[in-house]
Amino acid sequence: MPPPKQFETTRLFARIPRLADAEPVFEAYAQDSEVTRYLIWQPYTEIEPLRDFFLNCIRSWATNASFPYMLCLKGTDVPIGSIHMNIDNFSAGFGYVLAKPYWGQGLIPEALSYLVEWALAQPEIYRTWAFCDVENPASARVMEKAGMTREGILRRWHICPTISEEPRDCFVFSKIK
């Protein structure tokens, strides 16, 4: 069963990405080196590659390959971040990003909790999981607030191109049924 195309939490409205999101996302966080520090992509310096990224997001929904959402404050339609869900066999994996002015307000745990609970309510999904760089305690706390438990360290798991070209260690968190 594909996930809902949109959802609401107490403070957020999440929806499928649109090509028109490129400009507000570029302005809000995609070019911010602090926001992208621990991500798998470098800050965008031009908007055209970001438009290509949004085309791929739209295609991924159309093919059920993965499920990115734009996060907007409830009552608005302007993205302040995003959360992404990949469903693979019996598990759902997550990634997220949020514009710096909204850090520390519990918004990502709110969205992540919703999707974790949705995923675990599906009969075919038994495991939800996410990871973060070992030097990113704020992201680790997000996963804990969403009810996930730290399982351990994935050695040399992913590359943060803003930090190093070599794979870095990550904490892995999960919630299972």
Contact call for residues 129 and 10 (beta carbons, < 8 A): no
pLDDT in tens, 105-156: 999 999 999 999 999 999 999 999 999 999 999 999 999 999 999 999 999 9
Cα–Cα distance between 55 and 59 in angstroms, integer? 6
For residue 164, tell me if it sits in a domain: no
For residue 1, tell me if it sits in a domain: no
For residue 102, tell me if it sits in a domain: yes
If one counts every other C-beta atom within 10 angstroms of the C-beta of residue 86, the result is 14
For residue 118, tell me if it sits in a domain: yes
Token pair, residue 76, equals: 């608005």
Give residue 42's pLDDT: 94
User: Can you state the angle between helices 137-145 and 107-120, rounded to 10 degrees?
Assistant: 50
pLDDT in tens, 85-98: 999 989 999 999 99
In this prediction, residue 2 has a pLDDT band, given cuts at 50, 70 and 90, of confident
Which stretches within 19-123 are classed as H helix?
22-25, 47-62, 107-120
* CATH number for position 54: 3.40.630.30
For residue 21, tell me if it sits in a domain: yes
For residue 169, tell me if it sits in a domain: no
If one counts every other C-beta atom within 10 angstroms of the C-beta of residue 35, the result is 18
For residue 98, tell me if it sits in a domain: yes
Contact call for residues 18 and 58 (beta carbons, < 8 A): yes
Which residues form the domain of 10? 6-125
Q: Which residues contact 70 (CB under 8 A, 6 or more apart)?
A: 14, 15, 16, 17, 18, 21, 25, 79, 81, 82
What DSSP string runs through 77-101? Answer: --EEEEEEEEEETTEEEEEEEE-GG
Phi, then psi, of 61 in degrees rounded to 5: -65, -40
For residue 152, tell me if it sits in a domain: no
Q: What is the pTM of this model?
A: 0.96
Query: What is the number of domains present in the chain?
Result: 1
pLDDT in tens, 12-35: 999 999 999 999 999 999 999 999
Give residue 65's pLDDT: 84
Contact call for residues 139 and 119 (beta carbons, < 8 A): no
